[in-house]
């Protein structure tokens, strides 16, 4: 794992390195109070379409939310909770040897990490054990890597 500068609290976009797709909340959601799926957005999705993330730094860990929904993992998938009852803290670990602004996002208490297992629009982000290549520095498949970029003010 890389020891590069930590992210600061702010507004970001999160894009999968393999597909180049931003992830966030889907354009069309039901009106229930159920958790919201965190999905790959269609190509060309803009910041007003659910892809602006608020990342809050707390003691080396992060809370990630999109359109007011805090992220958490359940049944090996990533969801957003509208009410803040299921806020999960994540470790966002820089992988600078694999590209600028490139990170892995892993559970702070477990072994699961964010993975985009398909390249279709609306593929839900999974939370699974990450594949790590045994090298120094470590190698990760591109579908487990995320380009996290600050949104210009």
Here the tokens at position 114 are: 């964010």
Which distant-in-sequence residues (6+ apart) come within 8 Å of 109 by Cβ? 89
Q: What is the mean pLDDT of the chain?
A: 89
Does residue 3 carry a pLDDT above 60? Answer: no
- Coil/strand/helix, residue 69: strand
Alpha carbon 143 to its chain's center: 11
Collapsing DSSP to helix, strand or coil, 56 comes out as strand
Q: Which long-range contacts (CB under 8 A, 24 or more apart) does 86-91 make?
A: 86/35, 87/63, 88/63, 89/58, 89/61, 89/62, 89/63, 90/61, 90/62, 90/63, 90/64, 91/60, 91/61, 91/62
Domains and CATH numbers, the chain: 10-148 (2.80.10.50)
Give yes or no for residue 146 having a pLDDT over 80.
Answer: yes
Q: What pTM does this model have?
A: 0.91
Confidence band, pLDDT 50/70/90 cuts, at residue 1: very low
- Closest to 110 in 3D by CA, of 133, 93, 127, 86: 127
As a whole number of angstroms, the distance between CA 138 and CA 105 comes to: 15
pLDDT tens digit string along 81-135? 999 899 999 999 999 999 999 999 999 987 899 999 987 878 999 999 998 888 8
């Amino acid at each position: 794992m890389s020891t590069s500068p930590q992210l600061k609290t702010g507004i970001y976009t999160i894009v999968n390195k393999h597909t180049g797709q931003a992830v966030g909340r889907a354009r069309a959601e039901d009106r229930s109070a159920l958790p919201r799926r965190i999905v790959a957005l269609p190509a060309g999705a803009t910041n007003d379409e659910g892809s602006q993330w608020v990342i809050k730094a707390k003691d080396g860990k992060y809370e990630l939310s999109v359109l007011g929904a805090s992220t958490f993992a359940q049944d090996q998938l990533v969801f957003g909770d509208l009410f803040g009852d299921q806020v999960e803290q994540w470790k966002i670990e820089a992988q600078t040897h694999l590209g600028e602004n490139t990170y892995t996002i892993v559970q702070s208490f477990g072994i699961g990490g964010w993975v985009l297992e398909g390249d279709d629009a609306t593929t839900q982000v999974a939370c699974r054990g990450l594949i790590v290549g045994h090298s120094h520095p470590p190698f990760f498949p591109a579908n487990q890597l995320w380009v996290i970029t600050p949104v210009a003010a």
